[in-house]
């Protein structure tokens, strides 16, 4: 089954890199909205990304004043970086979702956002279609692997 395919260029925008280092383009809620997947019988909350939605991601909720008030673009600008909450989030994502917010942030700090976006394209582009990005929450390409996901809505990285 095919869905509307978004190009990497469209997906890999700087504004989709959240202050906590998450790449919202890889998030299931973002990809669901992009491809309007709920029309296939899912009932997931859509999200346009942390910055585009004008609110903090649920990840950090309202637990950090600096993020809540938009006082830092990225967490590495904060004197507490990486704080306890960010470390906990990072651990969860490293363990379950194959990405590290802290690594992302360190890379952006040291090499710039553009270099980071290039790397992300290489790392997450689906090898089958060569255009859509793999979702970090399940390891699937919602263009190529939609049938797998329809069959098992809890599918996660082959587990």
Any idea what DSSP says for residue 137?
A: T
126 binds, among Zn ion, ligand SF4, none (CB under 5 to 8 A by kind): Zn ion
Cis peptide before 82 (omega within 30 of 0): yes
DSSP assignment of 101-127 equals HHHHHHHHHHH-HHHHHHHHHHHHB-T
Residues 82-141 binding Zn ion (CB under 5 A) are: 126, 128-129, 132, 141
Closest approach, Cβ 143 to ligand SF4, in A, equals 18
Give min distance, CB of 42 to ligand SF4, in A.
15
Beta bridge partners of 41: none
Q: Can you read off the two tokens belonging to residue 101?
A: 């917010």
Which residues are near ligand SF4 by CB under 6 A? 18, 22, 24, 27, 29-30, 47, 49-50, 57-60, 64, 66-67, 72, 75, 78, 80-83, 85-86
């Amino acid at each position: 089954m095919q869905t509307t395919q978004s190009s990497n260029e469209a997906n890999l925008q700087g504004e989709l890199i959240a202050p906590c280092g998450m790449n919202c383009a890889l998030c299931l809620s973002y990809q669901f909205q992009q491809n309007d997947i709920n029309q296939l019988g899912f009932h997931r909350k859509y999200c346009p990304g942390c910055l585009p939605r004008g609110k903090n991601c649920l990840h950090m909720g309202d637990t950090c004043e600096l993020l809540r008030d938009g006082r830092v673009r990225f967490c590495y600008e904060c004197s507490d970086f990486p704080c306890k909450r960010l470390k906990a989030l990072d651990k969860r994502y490293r363990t379950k979702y194959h990405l590290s917010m802290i690594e992302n942030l360190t890379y952006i700090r040291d090499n710039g956002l553009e270099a980071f976006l290039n790397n992300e394209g290489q790392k997450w582009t689906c090898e089958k279609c060569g255009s859509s990005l793999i979702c970090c929450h399940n390891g699937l390409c919602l263009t190529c692997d939609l049938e797998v996901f329809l069959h098992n809505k809890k599918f996660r990285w082959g587990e």
